[in-house]
């Protein structure tokens, strides 16, 4: 492809993990997807994707170069991952880019299979980096629309900050507030949750009007707490409709929630469909203290009174909120 068709030969974009501060399931829509209402928050666990134009004459493809993963788990280095799917979607939207041969280098810090939208963050970073190479051909709004075809979390991964998400969670309204939030994030390393399977279990668990059944405070109320700076009220309004079902399927997670609260987290809740739990804490130092307490927990050594270690090591992170989603160098 001629150099005149591209603005630059390489761009690095950083995608950020998300937490669901609130997650309500309000029924099933006509297309079969569940209608949800959620408050989404970007945090500073980040994946960086560098997309480079190569001199390979065979265009319309992407290869994978270096991957520096700082988290456990396998990352697929083939066409099944969301990076490759994002490139394919972009090339169909911007046909001129289909003549490019690309390489992706990855630095991964978002936990894999954690319910924190790591794959969506990678897709978002890929779309933003490729659009920068093409001279910002699409821009944020069109990239978000394109991203929604890849997954419900991709539009938020692009926009970021704090948002109220409705429909599948992909219809977004920015929540403006000036409060830095700090989190302890805990993932049982060897536990994975099937999101479709969990929705099926939830549907079996409830009958009738799901909105009237939901014990979780409406997301708009949580948004009000953020805007008003009422953090005590915020603590009372964090919640997730999946929790009764998930804790019934995996009681160990309920035990982990209880232990996080005992050690000083203000809240302890599931993000998305799990298995990751997060707790609001006062500061990074407060989060690091609880992380150390979990690491030296006398209950951890395969004892029956600490069943949350059934799934092996706990991967623990301390994070803070971010006001933006994907950024590009």
Whether 197 contacts 188, CB under 8 Å: no
Residue 327 lies in a domain: no
Let me know if 233 is exposed, middle or buried by CB neighbors in 10 A (0-12, 13-18, 19+): middle
Co-location of 129 and 222 in the same domain? no
Cα–Cα distance between 68 and 108 in angstroms, integer? 6
Average pLDDT over residues 97-118: 94
Domain region containing 112: 3-176
Residue pLDDT, tens place only, 217-276: 888 899 999 999 898 999 999 999 999 999 999 999 999 999 999 999 999 999 999 999
* Tokens (6 digits) for 138: 């699409």
Confidence band for 211, pLDDT divided at 50, 70 and 90:
low
Q: Is 18 known to be catalytic?
A: yes
Task: For residues 154 and 209, state if they share a domain.
Answer: no
Residue 7 resides in a domain: yes
Is 325 within the bounds of a domain? no
Whether residues 143 and 275 share a domain: the answer is: no
Whether pLDDT at 108 is above 60: yes
Q: What is the CATH number of the domain that holds 199?
A: 3.30.70.890
Q: Is the pLDDT of residue 110 over 60?
A: yes
- What does the alpha-carbon distance between residue 147 and residue 190 come to, in Å, rounded to a whole number? 29
More confident residue, 164 or 27: 164
Instruction: Single out the catalytic residue among 47, 131, 153, 241.
Output: 153
78 is catalytic: no
Written as six digits, the tokens of 301 are: 């050594």
Q: What is the pLDDT of residues 122-158, one digit of tens each?
A: 999 999 999 999 999 999 999 999 999 999 999 999 9
SS (H, E, C) 169-228: CCEEEECCCCCCCEEEEEEECCCCCCHHHHHHHHHHHCCCCHHHHCCCCCHHHHHHHHHH
Note whether 186 and 260 are within 8 A (CB): yes
Residues 85 and 146 in one domain: yes
């Amino acid at each position: 492809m001629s150099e005149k068709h591209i603005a630059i030969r390489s761009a690095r974009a950083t995608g950020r993990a998300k937490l669901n501060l609130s997650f309500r399931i309000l029924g099933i829509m006509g297309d079969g997807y569940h209608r949800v209402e959620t408050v989404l928050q970007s945090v500073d666990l980040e994946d960086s994707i560098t997309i480079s134009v190569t001199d390979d004459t065979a265009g319309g493809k992407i290869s994978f170069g270096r991957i520096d993963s700082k988290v456990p788990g396998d990352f697929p280095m083939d066409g099944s991952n969301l990076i490759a799917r994002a490139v394919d979607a972009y090339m169909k939207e911007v046909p001129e880019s289909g003549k490019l041969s690309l390489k992706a280098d990855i630095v991964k810090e978002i936990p894999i299979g954690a319910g924190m939208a790591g794959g969506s963050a990678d897709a978002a970073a890929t779309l933003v980096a490729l659009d920068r190479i093409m001279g910002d051909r699409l821009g944020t709004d069109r990239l978000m629309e394109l991203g929604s075809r890849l997954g419900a979390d991709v539009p938020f991964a692009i926009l970021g900050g704090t948002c109220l998400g409705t429909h599948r969670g992909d219809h977004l309204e920015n929540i403006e507030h000036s409060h830095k939030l700090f989190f302890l994030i805990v993932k049982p390393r060897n536990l994975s949750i099937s999101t479709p399977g969990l929705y099926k279990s939830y549907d079996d668990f409830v009958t009738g009007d799901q909105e009237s059944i939901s014990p979780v405070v409406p997301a708009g109320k949580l948004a009000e707490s953020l805007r008003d700076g009422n953090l005590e009220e915020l603590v009372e309004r964090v919640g997730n409709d999946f929790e009764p079902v998930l804790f019934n399927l995996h009681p160990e997670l309920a035990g982990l929630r209880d232990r996080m609260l005992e050690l000083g987290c203000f809240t302890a809740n599931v993000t998305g469909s799990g298995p990751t739990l997060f707790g609001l804490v006062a500061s990074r130092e407060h989060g690091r203290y609880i992380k150390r307490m979990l690491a030296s927990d006398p209950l951890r050594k395969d004892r029956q009174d600490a069943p949350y270690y059934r799934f092996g090591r706990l991967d623990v992170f301390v994070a803070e909120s971010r006001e933006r989603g994907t950024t590009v160098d």
